[in-house]
Structure 1
Amino acid sequence: MPQLNPSPWLFIMIMSWFTFSLIFQPKTLSFISTNLPINKAPMTTKNHPWTWPWS
């Protein structure tokens, strides 16, 4: 079965990951995000007890 022979496909896979890691990833990480995170005060919620009619 030729699918189990990793000789051509292993090299192609490794080279494609190196290309992604060295060329494309730094270019995509250099973009500035348009929605920067804002430090907001956490909102506190009030818990209202449930009045059960049978208790």
Structure 2
Amino acid sequence: MPQLDPAPWFMTLVFSWAVFLVVIPPKVTAHVFPNEPSARTAETLEHKPWHWPWH
């Protein structure tokens, strides 16, 4: 059964994992968002209770 012979596919597996582990992570981590999120203001909102008419 030729599927069980790892010789033709082992180097493909090694090179594909090398690409995933060496080439792709620096490209992903170098990505910069165009708009940095700003901090939210610390203002507190006044909540008014809502009295239900059927109670």
Q: TM-score, normalised by structure 1?
A: 0.50
Deviation for aligned residue 1:35: 1.4
SS of equivalent residue, structure 2 residue 37:
coil
Aligned length, in residue pairs: 53
Q: What stretches of structure 1 move > 4 A for 4+ residues in a row? A: 10-14
The CA distance in 2 between the partners of 1:49 and 1:13, in whole Å, is 62
RMSD value over aligned CA atoms? 3.0
Question: Is there any run of 5+ residues in structure 1 with no aligned partner, and where?
Answer: none
Instruction: Give the fraction of aligned pairs with identical amino acids, expressed as a percent.
Output: 29
Deviation for aligned residue 1:22: 0.7
Partner in structure 2 of residue 41 of structure 1: 41
Question: Is there any run of 5+ residues in structure 2 with no aligned partner, and where?
Answer: none
